[in-house]
Structure 1
Amino acid sequence: MTLRPEYSLGHSPYNAFLFAAVGEEQGGGPLTVLSALTRLGFDPWQEAARLAGLPRETAARVFAVTIAMLPEGDWKASESEAIAARLVNWLPGQVPQAIPLVQGEYVDNKRTKLTIATALAWGVLAAALLFFTLHLISNNNFAFGHEAGMSTQG
């Protein structure tokens, strides 16, 4: 499955945010937002898109909770709000939300296509069965023993 253009690494507007450093891990290496979100089980691009759609203050509060779930590195849990406020500034401006599909119309259309395809498949199967049955009857292949011209005497 290919990524949508806004989630691809080369052209993602979320790169600045995702590759920003949260801080240093206890081992001394930098911990990026991308790594932090991945370790917590989030899809980094989806989470970045979700946060980008929120007002900055709300995004910072929400992301602070996420940072607080991380094991402490060179930062303290009490610093998660300040870290989150710094990091959400790397998010692009308000990203327009995707236009939702009109569920009823889309689902009904999909269901109708599925129903038509199913009915067509059953129709073809019924026609084939009818043709096969008529063919066997016309050749007397349903007749058994002496009725089909076979003699039981040797």
Structure 2
Amino acid sequence: MADNNVLNPHPPEFDRFLHACVGKDRNGHAVTLLSALARLGLDPWKETAELVTMGHDEAQVRLEALLAQFRDVPALASKHGKIARDLSQLLPEEPASGSLKRVTSTVADEHLGKSGAIWVVLAIIFLLFQMFMVGGSGSGE
């Protein structure tokens, strides 16, 4: 049977959070959190998955820091703390659906994958260094 998430691979639990309005821009248009995160150069779904894996307070602090960087909505300059607090209430509590579990586990695996790649590179450099030292010391011709 075909996967139901082919056309929309993002967890539906994120919709309420990402489609929440963070304020109006200088032209009077409503700006969603999804748009704000994208304009900051972040992947909104990946960022949301990371926020879900954090504790509530830590997620609120991270969200507040992100909103403080966003300059397209003038009201955020003074209200980013309150808006972050309100938005953090919209985050899903636990990964209930399969797609949400998949996204949050992918985020956790990505962090482990990056550190694993660093160790592999360091091991290769160490081996090359050892080969250079052994090969260089034995050739006294």
Bucket of the pairwise TM-score, normalised by the shorter protein: 0.5 to 0.7
Equivalent residue number for residue 62 of structure 1: 62
TM-score, normalised to structure 2's length? 0.60
Q: Report percent identity of matched pairs.
A: 29
2:50 corresponds to which residue? 50
The aligned counterpart of 1:80 is: 80
Instruction: Show the 5 A alignment for 1:104-143.
Output: none
Structure 1 73/11 Cα, relative in aligned 2: closer, same or farther at 3 Å?
closer
Shift of 1:86: 0.4
Moved over 4 A (4+): 99-103
TM-score, reference length from structure 1: 0.56
Q: Is the 8 A contact 2:56 2:88 kept in 1?
A: yes
Q: Which has the higher contact order (CA 8 A, sep 6+)?
A: 2
Compare the two structures and name the one with the higher helix fraction: 2
Tell me how far apart the structure 1 counterparts of residues 83 and 9 of structure 2 sit (CA, whole Å).
23
Does the Cα contact within 8 Å between 2:10 and 2:45 map onto a contact in 1? no
Amino acid at match of 1:42: L
Q: Which has the higher Rg, Structure 1 or Structure 2? A: 1
Structure 2: gaps of 5 or more residues:
96-100, 118-141
Question: Which 5+ residue runs of structure 1 have no aligned equivalent?
Answer: 108-154
The alignment covers a number of residue pairs equal to 100
Cα displacement string for residues 5-41 of structure 1 (whole angstroms, at most 9, x for unaligned residues):
4x93775210000000001111101010000000000
Residues 11 and 32 (structure 1 numbering): CA distance in 2 closer, same or farther, change over 3 Å? Answer: same
Q: What letter matches 2:43 in structure 1?
A: D
